[in-house]
Every structure is written in C-alpha cells, then in structure tokens.
Amino acid sequence: MQVDYIVIGAGSAGCIVAERLSQSGRYSVLLLETGGGLHNPWISVPAGFGATYYHPKYNYMYYSEKQVNMNNRQLYVPRGKGLGGSGSINAMIYVRGARRDFDDWAKAGNPGWAYNQVLPYFKQLEQHPQGETDYRGAHGPIGITPMATNAHPICQNFLQATQETGLPQNSDFNGQHFEGAGIYDTNIRAGKRESSYTAYLKPSLKRRNLSLWTHAKVNRLMLQDCQVKGVEVVHQGQAKQVSVAKEVVLCAGAVANPQLLETSGIGQQSRLQKIGIKCLLDLPGVGENLQDHLCASFYYRANRRTLNDDFGSLSGKIQAGLQYALGRKGPLSLSVNQAGGFFRGSDSEEHANIQMYFNPLSYEIPTNPNAKLTPLPYSGYLIAVNACRPTSRGSVHINHAMPNNAPQIDFNFLSTEHDRQESIQAGNLVRKIAQAPSLQTMTLGEEKPASQVNNNDEMLQYFQREGNSIYHLSGTCAMGPDKQINVVDENLLVHGLAGLRIADASIFPNITSGNTNAPTMMVALKAADLILADND
C-alpha cells in the first residue's frame, strides 16, 4: 500500500495536519493513531477531565524517572491516547504564550517563527466571539469561550486581591498584552470540549482521500539511503508496511516522537548501540531538551460556597447535572481553572515569569490510579503556580529495543539555581495575593502548606516535596540549525533525512510561557503550509 502522506498521531497537531493536507483532494493521506475513538461521554464535558485522569483507554499513564531534586519522587505523566490526543483530556485553557517566546524561537536560528509571523496562524485557528481584531480570529474552526462572564463569583475576589497587591489587570492574555491578572479563555464551544479532533478531523473524515486507522501502532520508520520511505505498523493486530510517495509527518508528541525515532535507528549513536539498535542516523539531540512547567498548589478553606460544595454533595451534583443536561450551562460547562494570570515574581524581572491559576475548587490528585479525583470535604479554593520559562532540561529516551516498552522520562526539575529561585518567587507571590483584603474576607485559613512553610528554604522544600508536572511536555525534537543539538530545521525537516518532518510541541526550542495546546495547534497549521509549499 502506498499513500502520498502518512501522519503519525491523531492528537492536537496530527488532526490538523491530516485535515489540511487532505483538503484540496489532490493527495491521499493516511492518519495513524495508536488509541481508539472517544466513547466516554465525560470527554466532551469541560469539567469532566478528571474522568480520564487515570483511564488507560484514553491515557498512557506514564511515570517519570526518580527526580533527584524532587525528593527522589517519580512523577505522574498523563498523555492523551486516542483521537484528539492530550487535547481530549486536558483542562482546555487557551493561551498562546508571550510574544518573546516566539521571538526567541526565531533568534535561535529559526527564521519564520517570530511572533508577528506566527500570529496569523493563531488567528486562523480560532473562532472568538469578539470578532476579528488585530490579535483575534473570528472564522477559524476552534471555538473559543471566554469564561469571564460565567466564572465562579469568588474569581472576582482573586482579581480584586491582585489589584490590591499592585498587579496589573488583563482582559485578554492572547491580545496585545500578556502580563496581568484575568479570566482565562478556553477551547470550549457551546458548553462542550473543542479539540482539533472535533473541529478539524471529524468533519473531514468523509473525504475519500483521507483514511484514519485507529489502534495502529507504528513500530518503525522505514529508511533507505537517508530517506524515509514509509512505516511499519501493527493495525488491529496485523503487521503491515505502508510506503509513502511524498512525506511522513510525525505528530505523536514530546514522549512518543523520540521513542519512535530511536527505535527506528535515529538518535545518538552510542546510546542506540548500548541497547542493541543499529544507528542509521547519528542525531544526538533526539530526546534531549525536555521542558515542562513545574507546578505547586496552595490550598485554602473558604467561608462561602465554592465548587467543592457543588461537586462534593449529592444535591450539588444533581443541580450541576441538570443545568448541563438542559442547556450546557453551569459549572460542568467550564474549566475548573478559571482565573489567574502572568506576573513578575520580583521587581527586578524584565518580563512576566510566573503563571498562576485560581480554582474555585480544591482537590488533591490521588496517587492511587484506582481512586477518583474528588473535591476536598470543605468549602475551599486553590491557587496553583509555576514558572513560565524554566531553564532545567530533561530527556526522553528508550531503554529497550522493543517499541512497546514505555520510554524513560526524566524532567530534571529544579536542576538550576534559576529555577529554584523562581519557585520561591512563585510561592511567595501566591502568599502575598492571598493576604490581600479581598481574599482574606472569604478565607478561613491556609490549609496547605500552612505552617510547613515559613521562609524561603521551606518554600523550596515544598516545591520539591509537593510539586508536579503540569503536563506541558515539549522540546524533545527541538527546532534549530545545529544538527548536533537540534532535530529539525526551520522547515520542520529532520536534519540529515529526506521525507520526514515533525510537527507538534516536541519541536519547541524553548517552552512557551503558558499552556501549550494552542501553540501546538499553531505549529500544525504552519507545518501544513510548509509541506504543501514544498510539494505542490
């Protein structure tokens, strides 16, 4: 079997790439997805993301290596499995990132990726209710819901507290300004989750030139004379080879991309030889440069009703369920990450370097995969916080030649003094805002860390003891001109190979300053244009 294009991974990027390449009808496109369809109704319910947090049908449920700077803990690493990928199990916060994030991509040797050059792709993605502006798009497939009008009332207490703390306000993190406190936008349409699967791929599946194989595990790329000729795939239990006339586009994510490259003989020669894989292309950057946002949460007991009361009692559940069933309204129709913003952790910072989430719901992540994510048994809220641009770098590598083995994920969190100091900044900023009058009037006390943290040393220890990934893995196939450290060039072509591009968060040279789903979709749109420009 031969097709013009093979796209590997039907996640946030792959769904868009497959739709765009098949749009003209001129090319045959095969989209391969290891997981299956979305049969759990909670996936479409915005507040229902907890139902897939430990669900092996929709989640790879990886764990990291022991983190030496995090009390030797293994951290949970959920990754989306099935149509829509992680875009079908995330919290739907729609943040592009700061202007300087993308300008830094261009400065790193990637012409064409500066903010002003990627902004048209962001606008092309979205359908924003405020209409077309210099910064927002009105006609794209991804429906955007600003939560400002429907956020829980206590979010206003948070915003007022930031004002009292002297922090700027921001009505649109994706507009002209990035810094400030506000209410997040979400990729939600009419009370239902919107993903690249629902917005791009699903409507295009009727095209005769687009084929989708689910339960299709790609084991290896087929190489010949430094050119990718196709893939070896197990589809519904049958081993198959599919050849490609034009290109293979790898969109399997920051974990699966280096895993597939290394099992195919593409990576650092000495590493591959140690595990018995013949190196076909020595590319040392494969699997290096892993970046993520390290987050810690602060828990507060409230003297008024919060979402803990709505989701934690039978009567509250019934009321929320009726609101949603009758009109896609109420707390189930929104993300639980509602207010927040981007702030400078100290007056000496040149840019906003701290991201914050104010949740009118407090819950702790269960460590037992058989347990459910449930609200804490009191009226409460939490404030989660992370640094925007950490300097620690980790890795993702295979440790076995078998393609079905889980890879080794090492975040290497808090390995730099810069990151340790920013964690202290982040925690202290949460405490400063929480002490402002507008939050104090509704707060009975800090439940955690409370008396455990009384100084900077103890604040750092709290991050080491309680901090976790916020699931923004990126950078493991970084874009750049140096084939000794980078994996793809500015056109997303793999260095030293013909016929293979990578197009998802794994190509980020540096992590963006916010949530990564929106920039991942932007990369996919730009990638499709690059591919078509080279092949039309």
* CA gap 233, 293 in Å, rounded: 33
> Omega into 449 within 30° of 0, i.e. cis?
yes
State the catalytic residue, choosing from 55, 128, 293, 472: 472
Q: How far, in Å, CA of 435 to CA of 165, rounded?
A: 9
Annotated active-site residue 472? The verdict is yes
Among 322, 342, 340, 343, smallest CA distance to 332 is for 322
* Packed helices 417-434 and 154-164: angle between N→C axes, nearest 10 degrees: 110
436 φ/ψ sector (left φ>0, alpha ψ -120 to 50, else beta): beta
Closest C-alpha to 290, from 522, 60, 65, 510: 510
Task: Give residues with Cβ within 8 angstroms of 161, minimum separation 6.
Answer: 433, 434, 436, 437, 438, 439
Cβ atoms of 434 and 450 within 8 Å: the answer is no
Q: Which residues of 357-389 are buried (b: 16+ CB within 10 A; e: fewer)?
A: bbbbbbbeeeeeeeeeeebbeebbbbbbbbbbb
Q: In this structure, are residues 379 and 302 in contact, taking their beta carbons and an 8 Å threshold?
A: yes
Using alpha carbons, select from 213, 205, 192, 142 the residue that is nearest to residue 41: 192
Distances (CA, A) of 396 to 40, 285, 412: 30, 11, 11
Instruction: Please list the active-site residues.
Output: 472
